[in-house]
Structure 1
């Protein structure tokens, strides 16, 4: 497979862990998301493993001349200007498909943020699916994939579990990544 050759032999990356192939539905959170390099690395890793994982992106990415490419790679456009409930719309996608795995960035941007977006959490909760953590460890050229995590009724504990997993991961631009300390109150 060409993706595996590029990912491992040319770029020198390796994969630690695996996507659960027996599960047909889950949310994948990928972090740190600090560079445009994250996307091609994620696509190469996904293709190397051989599990179909979809993603969403801002609608402008899906316009000509390259929009067809993002769609072919498994993407779906999201219009951020509309105030519709995106969480409910994505939960509906999970309910409409027998197999659906969705990758999201908890940071929501490549810029430095102090708080993570929680849409991924509410999507997983609403669709009753686990969350699989996917880390871009640029320091060691590794993709780290954690086992599925099933959400509890304690959002703070769940968020702290996610924060702890990513705490020591170094992205392409380490200065742009921060993990919130600990979740103590309702997260936005």
Structure 2
């Protein structure tokens, strides 16, 4: 039922497409970009539901006020205290290890503004838990979300982050001027 509703809204009402070729891993980190608008959450959750998968997401704690907090938690939201230096990566690694299934979407930019210095927590969670990173590109120009690449973290963060950023270079966010992969050159 939920999948049918998400498909109807995502495909029929909103006119979006989905290109998915990655396996449905039991556990993975989803690296989703570009993230240039709050609408990315809604579009992304509809996409995940339309393809019959589940995913939680990280969001700054300031959004978890009444009544939105309850709504976001019911959608899989995990509040992040950005000012505090907590061991969120370690906590999430432990959560992955204790779970039968685990899917968590993270936007590597860490903001909806242009930021060439991407956060690397998603990478360290996947590396520490020994799970793949699924790359999901959101393209507003094509009205399509792509899930056609994944990688197993090698431990060479510089190489892997370069590959990840290059994957996203051609996707157009709702506000393309707010997306920046930095000075990354193909090999």
TM class by shorter chain equals over 0.9
Q: Where does residue 99 of structure 1 map in the other structure?
A: 101
2:112 to 110, 113, 120: 110
Deviates more, 1:132-141 or 1:66-75: 66-75
Q: Output the CA distance in 2 between the equivalents of 1:160 and 1:98.
A: 31
Q: How many residues align?
A: 182
Q: Where does residue 186 of structure 1 map in the other structure?
A: none
Q: Does 1:82 align with 2:94?
A: no
TM-score scaled by structure 1?
0.92
Asked if the contact 2:27–2:102 (Cα under 8 Å) also holds between the matched residues in 1, the reply is yes
TM-score scaled by structure 2?
0.92
Gaps of 5+ in 1: 184-188
2:18 to 15, 20, 44: 15
Q: Does 1:55 align with 2:43?
A: no
Gaps of 5+ in 2: none
Please state how far the C-alpha of 1:19 moved relative to its aligned partner. 5.0
Asked if the contact 1:7–1:45 (Cα under 8 Å) also holds between the matched residues in 2, the reply is yes
Q: What secondary structure does 2:150 align onto?
A: coil
Please state how far the C-alpha of 1:156 moved relative to its aligned partner. 1.8
Please state how far the C-alpha of 1:60 moved relative to its aligned partner. 2.2
CA RMSD of aligned residues (A): 1.4
Q: Output the CA distance in 1 between the equivalents of 2:7 and 2:70.
A: 23
